[in-house]
Structure 1
Amino acid sequence: MPTTQPEQSHTYRNVMESLVVEEVDHQCQHLPTRVANYINKTEVIAYALNRLPPMYATSQQGWQQQRNRASREMHNQIMMAVRQAIAAVQRDPLRSATPLKVEEDRNSQTALQELQELLRTDELSWQNVVDVVEQTLIRTARGEVTWRKRGAASVQAGDWHDNRYFL
């Protein structure tokens, strides 16, 4: 069975993203106000990035080197990709889309995992969270569950037994 690696913090970045954002801002400043107000910059950025090669860096030195290289060698390509993106997004001004909620989804999953640990149940999901919390509160009121502050020095891994939960 293959092992999965723990999720790493974001230790790499695509240099093209910042260059495209700058170019979108620059080009939008030169548009008539009534046109600029109807442009979804996020869609323009995504459209342009999908037409440019990624250039990733994992260190500050690499970031600066890639940024200098992209600015020098790909300026015209970036400018044209953004121009095309603005034209494409302008063609369909009535289209609406639901934006991605990446960070919100990640935060929700983290909160659910923390609740699973706190309530000591693997059976917890967003569909049953209210029922599980309610049952735990009832068991606490009956004295079946004992809570202590999380991270207290007296709480050891072996203390979790006999339906005793320590918070």
Structure 2
Amino acid sequence: MPNMPPNSIPLYRNAIEPLVVEEARRQIRQLPPRLLMSLNPQQLIAQVVAYALNRLPALYATSDRGWKFQQQQAEKLQPQIEKAVRQGLAAVQRDPLTPVWESPDSEAAEAKKAQLDKRRRIASYRRYQ
């Protein structure tokens, strides 16, 4: 990337990227809660978005007028965006080298495991009442 002052607005933007990020978050929210408990959400979104963007056309703009035009073009690609994100989710979940799973010894994984164990104890207690 060219030398730019920190916090400056880039001279070019990909109009399809926000739609892909939004779709990835939507599809990830629909995953089963048990699966979500074992995933690292930031890594998962990053991997899925990168996968999908690599399979979709880039729609860069350098002006507000160009941005509006490219956004209209991007919206026409919604079915392809949904498909690319769905494929990305499947791909990163299958790949054992993709770092989307919480490591078993991480603090976050321990906290999620404790939360899940607590829910199981409450559920089993309610069954016997």
2:15 is aligned with 1:11: no
Cα 1:95–1:25 shift into 2, 3 Å: closer
CA distance in 1 between counterparts of 2:13 and 2:58 reads 9
Partner of 1:20: 20
Report the TM-score when normalising by structure 2: 0.62
CA distance in 2 between counterparts of 1:89 and 1:68 reads 29
Question: What are the residue-to-residue correspondences of 1:39-58 with 2, within 5 Å?
Answer: 40-58=44-62
Q: Which amino acid aligns with 2:81?
A: I
1:64, distance to aligned residue in structure 2 (A): 1.8
Question: What are the residue-to-residue correspondences of 1:12-161 with 2, within 5 Å?
Answer: 12-37=12-37, 38=39, 40-71=44-75, 73-93=76-96, 95-96=98-99
Q: Which runs of 5+ in 2 are unaligned?
A: 5-9, 101-129
Give the fraction of aligned pairs with identical amino acids, expressed as a percent: 49
CA distance in 2 between counterparts of 1:8 and 1:95 reads 31
Question: Over aligned residue pairs, what C-alpha RMSD do you find?
Answer: 2.0
User: Which secondary structure state, in structure 1, belongs to the residue aligned with residue 23 of structure 2?
Assistant: helix
Q: Which amino acid aligns with 2:14?
A: N
Task: Answer 1 or 2: higher relative contact order, Cα 8 Å, separation at least 6.
Answer: 2
Between structures 1 and 2, the one with greater helix share? 2
